[in-house]
Each structure stands twice: as structure tokens, then as C-alpha cells.
Amino acid sequence: MTVRLPPLVLAVVSIRSLEQDRAFTPCSRAKETSAATCTIKKIVSERGLGFIEAADGKEHFFHRRGMDTSVNFDSLMGGEKVILDIEPSPKAPRAHRIRLA
């Protein structure tokens, strides 16, 4: 007996497989490396998100849920040095496990 999956299910499975095979680094998409030091560029407090600028000038999106529990998102003003990891997401790599440097 052969089970046929709808195309959408196949696409989701394929995308998830690709995401698991890819490795991302802070500031590039080459491989996963943790503990990159970057600077918070912009905070949008009403939406609970922001952007972090890496040393090479690339920007990474982050959400308040990606902050380490020791960091109070509401106290951030921008310009703070942070240490972070990059994780894959559907649109583009994003910062997570963000902690103050």
C-alpha cells in the first residue's frame, strides 16, 4: 500500500529537512557558532522586537522571547553590547539566546 502525501505536506517536510541540514552563524549563513558579540541597533518595544547589528554590519532580527531570562527587554535602549546565537527561521536567520556582554 502506497501513501500519497499532499504537495503542501511534502514541501513542509522538505523545508524542515533543509533547515536541519543547514548551519547558521552569527553574521553569516556558513555554520552555527555561538557567542558572537554584537550591538543592539533598534528596539521596537510596543511590538516586542528589535534588530541587532553584527561587527560585519549585518543586521539580525530578534524577538523578546529570544532574550535570556537575565535580560529585561523593557530596559533596553539600544547601543548595548550583547552576546547571541543565530537560529534558522522561515524568513531569515534570527538572533536568540541573547544576553548582555
Confidence (pTM): 0.62
Q: What angle do CA 36, 72, 44 make, to 5 degrees?
A: 80
Distance CA 99, CA 83 (A): 5
CATH fit for domain 24-100, picks 1.10.3720.10, 2.60.40.290, 1.10.20.10, 2.40.50.140: 2.40.50.140
pLDDT (tens digit per residue) in 36-66: 789 999 999 999 999 999 888 889 999 999 9
Give the list of residues 6+ apart from residue 41 with CB closer than 8 angstroms, or none: 50, 51, 52, 53, 59, 78
Please report, rounded to a whole number, the percentage of residues in the chain having pLDDT higher than 90.
39
Domains in the chain: boundaries:
24-100
Per-residue pLDDT at 1: 65
